[in-house]
Chain A
Amino acid sequence: MSDIAKQNLILIGNGMAGMRTIEELLKLEPEKYNITVFGDEPYGNYNRIMLSPVLANEKTLEEVMLNDDNWYQENNIRFEKGKKVTDINRVAKKVIAEDGTELPYDKLLIATGSTSFMLPLPGADKQGVIGFRDVKDVDTMVNAALNYKKAVVIGGGLLGLEAANGLMKQGMDVTVVHIGDSLMDRQLDKDAATMLKTSLEEKGMKFLMSHASEEILGDERVTGLRFNDGSEVDADLLVMAVGIKPNFELAKSTGLHCERGIVVSDTMQTFDPNIYAIGECVQHRGQVYGLVAPLFEQAKVAANHLAELGYGRYEGTVTSTMLKVTGISLFSAGDFIGDEDTEELLFRDVASGTYKKIILRDNIIIGACLYGDTMDGTWYFQMMKDGTNISDFRDSILFGQAHLGDAGHGDETRVAAMADNAEICGCNGICKSEIVNAISEKKLFTLDDVRAHTKASASCGSCTGLVESLLAHTLGGDYSQAPSKKSLCACTELTHEEVRTGIRELHLKDHEDVRKSLNWKTDDGCAVCRQATNYYLLCENPDYNDPESRFINERAHGNIQKDGTYSVVPRMFGGMCTPKDLHAIADVAEKFKVPEMKVTGGQRIDMFGIKKEDLPLVWKDLSEAGFVSGHAYGKAMRTCKTCIGDSWCRMGTQDSTSLGIKLEELTWGSWMPHKYKLAVSGCPRNCAEATIKDFGVVCVDSGYEIHVGGNGGIKVRVTDFLIKLDTEEEVLEYCAAFSQYYREDAHYLERTAPWIERVGLDKIKAAVLDDEANRKALYERFIISQKPSQIDPWKKHADGVDENQFKSIKITAA
Chain B
Amino acid sequence: MSNWLEIAALEEIPVLGSRVVETDTVNIAVFRGKENAVFAIKDQCPHKQGPLSQGIMHGDSVTCPLHNWKISLVSGEALGADEGCTNVYETKVEDGKVFLKSPTI
Contact = CB atoms under 8 A, between A and B. Distances in A.
Interface of A: 452-454, 458-459, 522-527, 530-531, 547-552, 555-556, 560, 562, 564, 804-805, 808-813
Contacts of B73: none
Given A452-B80, A560-B66, 6 more contacts: A524-B58, A525-B58, A552-B65, A805-B17, A809-B8, A809-B22
B22 A810 contact: yes
A30 B17 CA distance: 32
B93 interface: no
B105 A813 contact: yes
B14 A547 contact: yes
A523 B55 CA distance: 17
B19 A811 contact: no
Interface string B1-45: 000010110001111110111111001001000100000000000
B21 A548 contact: no
Contacts of A524: 16, 34, 57-59
Contacts of B87: none
Given A524-B16, A547-B17, A808-B21, A552 B58 contact: no
Contacts of A548: 14-17, 56-57
Contacts of A808: 19-22, 27
Nearest to B98: A809
Contact of B50 (A458, A564, A812): A564
Contacts, number: 90
A547 B5 CA distance: 28
Given A452-B80, A526-B58, A527-B63, A811 B16 contact: no
Contacts of B57: 524, 548
Interface in B49-105: 50-51, 54-59, 63, 65-68, 70, 80-81, 105
Contacts of A552: 54-56, 65
A530 B24 contact: no
Contacts of A556: 54
A811 B15 contact: no
A600 to B, nearest CB: 21
B101 to A, nearest CB: 12
Contacts of A809: 7-8, 19-22, 30
Contacts of A812: 23-24, 105
B56 A549 contact: yes
B34 A523 contact: yes
A811 B12 contact: no
A727 B67 CA distance: 46
B100 to A, nearest CB: 8
B54 A527 contact: no
B77 to A, nearest CB: 15
A811 B58 CA distance: 27
A544 to B, nearest CB: 16
Contacts of A527: 55-56, 58, 63, 68, 70
Contacts of B7: 809, 811
Contacts of B67: 459
Contact of A452 (B5, B12, B14, B81): B81
Interface of B: 5, 7-8, 12-17, 19-24, 27, 30, 34, 48, 50-51, 54-59, 63, 65-68, 70, 80-81, 105
A808 B8 CA distance: 11
Contact of A453 (B14, B50, B59, B81): B81
Given A452-B80, A527-B68, A564-B50, A522 B59 contact: yes
Contact of A560 (B5, B63, B65): B65
B22 A811 contact: yes
Nearest first, the 4 A-B pairs at minimum CB distance are A527-B63, A808-B20, A524-B58, A552-B54
A808 B58 CA distance: 21
Nearest to A804: B12
Contacts of B30: 809
A780 to B, nearest CB: 33
A809 B55 CA distance: 18
25 contacts: A452-B80, A522-B59, A523-B34, A523-B59, A526-B56, A526-B58, A527-B55, A527-B56, A527-B63, A527-B70, A530-B56, A548-B15, A548-B17, A548-B56, A551-B65, A564-B50, A804-B13, A804-B14, A805-B14, A805-B17, A808-B20, A808-B21, A808-B27, A809-B21, A812-B23
B16 to A, nearest CB: 4
A503 B68 CA distance: 26
Contacts of A523: 34, 58-59
Nearest to B80: A452
Nearest to A561: B66
A551 B56 contact: yes
A85 B92 CA distance: 61
B86 to A, nearest CB: 15
Contacts of A550: 56
Nearest to A427: B67
A564 B81 contact: no
A564 B7 CA distance: 22
A549 B16 CA distance: 9
Nearest to B15: A548
Most B Cβ at <10 Å: residue of A560, A811, A813 = A811
Nearest to A444: B81
Contacts of A564: 50-51, 54
Contacts of B12: 804
A526 B60 CA distance: 11
Most B Cβ at <10 Å: residue of A524, A805, A813 = A524
A61 B21 CA distance: 60
B71 to A, nearest CB: 12
Contacts of A804: 12-14, 19
Nearest to A553: B65
Most A Cβ at <10 Å: residue of B5, B19, B27, B58 = B58
A45 to B, nearest CB: 32
Contacts of A459: 67
A552 B68 CA distance: 12
Nearest to B35: A523
A459 to B, nearest CB: 8
Contacts of A458: 68
Contacts of B14: 547-548, 804-805
A600 B50 CA distance: 25
A522 B56 contact: no
A522 B56 CA distance: 14
A556 B53 CA distance: 12
Contacts of A526: 56, 58, 63
A813 B24 CA distance: 7
Contacts of B27: 808
Contact of B21 (A453, A525, A811): A811
Most B Cβ at <10 Å: residue of A458, A522, A555, A805 = A805
Nearest to B19: A809
Contacts of A813: 23-24, 105
B15 to A, nearest CB: 7
A445 B68 CA distance: 22
Contacts of B13: 804
Contacts of B34: 523-524
A525 B21 CA distance: 26
A300 B6 CA distance: 51
A679 B17 CA distance: 37
A531 B50 CA distance: 19
Contact of A562 (B22, B48, B58, B81): B48
Contacts of B16: 524, 548-549
A806 to B, nearest CB: 10
A504 B81 CA distance: 36
Contacts of A555: 54
Most B Cβ at <10 Å: residue of A452, A527, A555 = A527
Contacts of B24: 812-813
A564 to B, nearest CB: 4
A524 B12 CA distance: 20
Contact of B23 (A454, A549, A560, A811): A811
